[in-house]
Amino acid sequence: MAPAACHYDAVASTSASAGALLRHVRTGRARSRAELVALTGASRNTVSARVDQLIAAKLLEEGGRGWSTGGRPPTLLRFNSEAGCALAVDLGVTSVDVAVTDLSARILATVGHPIDIADGPGVVLAEVDRLAQLVLAEAGLAPADVCAVGVGLPGPVEFSTGRPSHPPIMPGWHDYPIPSAFGRYDCPVYVDNDVNVMALGEMGIAGSVQDVLVVKVGTGIGCGVIVDGRVYRGAQGSAGDIGHIYVQPADGRTVLCRCGNENCLEAIAGGGALLRDAIAAGLPVSTTREVVELAAQGDGSALELVRNAGRTIGTVLAALVNFFNPHRIVMTGGVAQAGAPLLAGIREAVYGRSMPLAARALEITVSDAPDLSGRVGAALMAIEEFLDEDSVVETLAR
Ligand SMILES: [Zn+2]
């Protein structure tokens, strides 16, 4: 076995399992049997036999001929993204979006509906079930076509079991076996917190090997940690919970956080904090969205509040940049829609406080499609697990 290469060479791993071959074709790294042989170092016979299995399972298909480098031109391979579909569920506090996608996370049909997450799992998941049947019917698909289900929800989740763990704003959901609500689909169900799911959505299907922090600033503040293009969840699944990191506000005040500690990041710079400070400053607002809109219209006090929130978030991100040295930071969530003034505060703090080597090529951007990334991410989570190396080997064995 060859020694592990530097992580940017990880795609040229020695694995030539059917799942690994499928991944190379899906991500565009190989387009023919010959390229798969070159990429994996496996024998031509091994690659051909596994490709035939993948074609028989309808996951790969042959199409067209490539350029010849002497001799017969190679038959091109492509991923059959219509071999099945995924159900994507993006659960929020006051609404849910359900989508059915093909196996490249292209949305085929989607529907959204208001809910109250505090109604508990029985009521909310019954509504999700109804919406899922609706989108499947609209896309002309049957429950048997669903290969995997992905669910994102606004609270901590034990990923291995799909059970929420003491979610602070979801009464009645603690330890609820969410996968059991999708029994009619007879397929695996994956559940994760909304921030990790959005992070996957931001990365897209291409399987980039970048290291990225996806920071959601809504009522709370959370961070999806992407290492080599994959979500890093940590030992118990709570990696990236940056909302409760201690910060020292510029004005020296002390603020109690809903977690019981003082001066947590989200108690100083989250959406709730922004609204509280805006009301205290006499602004005519009753929701965080209104503060964000005022800032967008150029209101001086609202701009200053958003910019200060950006600076506070930026001091925490500067520490994370020094520690993690990401390629990119992507801001998302309701407060991130304030765009320029929030980014200005964040950039000022991050570039001012990070080490030059880590900050030199760092990109900080706002999500292009924050409303879509929850659904696309939930679909990608389900698809990536369904087409994971071991799962593909199991699928082919059946
Ligand atoms: Zn806290």
Give a three-class secondary structure readout of 241-264.
Answer: CHHHCECCCCCCCCCECCCCCECE
Residue 218 lies in a domain: yes
Q: Give residue 250 CA to ligand 1 midpoint distance, Å.
A: 18
Question: Is a pLDDT exceeding 90 seen at residue 218?
Answer: no
Boundary (domain end) residue, out of 23, 58, 79: 79
Same domain membership, residue 288 and residue 307: yes
Its sign, for the CA torsion 103, 107, 110, 114, is positive
Q: Residue 213, by phi and psi: left (phi above 0), alpha (psi -120 to 50) or beta?
A: beta
Q: Give residue 243 CA to ligand 1 midpoint distance, Å.
A: 7
Q: Give residue 249 CA to ligand 1 midpoint distance, Å.
A: 14
* Predicted confidence band of residue 207 (pLDDT cuts 50, 70, 90): low
- Chain Cα centroid distance, residue 203: 7
* Predicted confidence band of residue 69 (pLDDT cuts 50, 70, 90): low
Same domain membership, residue 247 and residue 100: no
Residue 332 lies in a domain: yes
Q: Indicate the average pLDDT of the chain.
A: 89
Residue 294 lies in a domain: yes
User: What percentage of the chain reaches a pLDDT higher than 70?
Assistant: 94
Residue 333 lies in a domain: yes
Residue-wise pLDDT for 140-168, tens only, equals 999 999 999 999 999 889 999 999 998 87
Domains: count for the chain: 3
Same domain membership, residue 185 and residue 149: yes
Predicted local distance difference test score (pLDDT) of residue 382: 95
**3-state DSSP helix/strand/coil percent for the chain, to nearest 5?**
45, 20, 35
Predicted local distance difference test score (pLDDT) of residue 65: 73
Predicted local distance difference test score (pLDDT) of residue 397: 80
Question: Is a pLDDT exceeding 90 seen at residue 66?
Answer: no
Q: Considering only 62-71, 153-162, 300-309, which range has the smallest mean pLDDT?
A: 62-71
Boundary (domain end) residue, out of 48, 79, 110: 79
- Chain Cα centroid distance, residue 240: 12
Predicted local distance difference test score (pLDDT) of residue 375: 95
Predicted local distance difference test score (pLDDT) of residue 14: 63
Beta-bridge mates of residue 329:
213, 364
Helix (H) or strand (E) holding 208: none
Same domain membership, residue 242 and residue 319: yes
Same domain membership, residue 214 and residue 196: no
Same domain membership, residue 285 and residue 229: yes
Q: What is the mean pLDDT of residues 181-195?
A: 94
Number of other residues whose CB lies within 10 A of the CB of residue 296: 16
Q: Give residue 46 CA to ligand 1 midpoint distance, Å.
A: 54
Q: What is the mean pLDDT of residues 216-235?
A: 90
* Nearest one of 11, 49, 22 to 387, comparing CA atoms: 22
Q: What is the mean pLDDT of residues 333-357?
A: 88
**Quick check: helix, strand or coil at residue 19?**
helix
Q: What is the domain-level CATH number for residue 364?
A: 3.30.420.40
Q: What is the pTM of this model?
A: 0.85
Alpha-carbon distance of 122 to 132, in angstroms, equals 15
Same domain membership, residue 173 and residue 42: no
Residue 5 lies in a domain: no
Q: Give residue 371 CA to ligand 1 midpoint distance, Å.
A: 26
Residue 4 lies in a domain: no
Question: Is a pLDDT exceeding 70 seen at residue 328?
Answer: yes
Predicted local distance difference test score (pLDDT) of residue 6: 38
Q: Which residue has the higher pLDDT, 70 or 4?
A: 70
Question: Is a pLDDT exceeding 60 seen at residue 11?
Answer: no
Q: What is the mean pLDDT of residues 260-281?
A: 94
Question: Is a pLDDT exceeding 50 seen at residue 3?
Answer: no
Boundary (domain end) residue, out of 61, 79, 97: 79
Residue 3 lies in a domain: no
- Local structure of residue 10 (DSSP, 8 states): G
Yes or no: say if 61 and 78 are a contact pair by the CB < 8 Å rule. yes
Q: Give residue 283 CA to ligand 1 midpoint distance, Å.
A: 26
Q: Give residue 106 CA to ligand 1 midpoint distance, Å.
A: 37
Same domain membership, residue 377 and residue 272: no
Question: Is a pLDDT exceeding 80 seen at residue 10?
Answer: no
Same domain membership, residue 139 and residue 34: no
129's tokens: 């079930």
Q: What is the mean pLDDT of residues 230-235?
A: 89
Same domain membership, residue 90 and residue 34: no
* Nearest one of 175, 173, 231 to 202, comparing CA atoms: 231
Q: Give residue 218 CA to ligand 1 midpoint distance, Å.
A: 14
Same domain membership, residue 226 and residue 92: no
Residue 150, domain extent: 85-200+373-397
Same domain membership, residue 250 and residue 342: yes
Q: What is the domain-level CATH number for residue 21?
A: 1.10.10.10
Q: What is the mean pLDDT of residues 21-47?
A: 92
Q: Give residue 375 CA to ligand 1 midpoint distance, Å.
A: 28
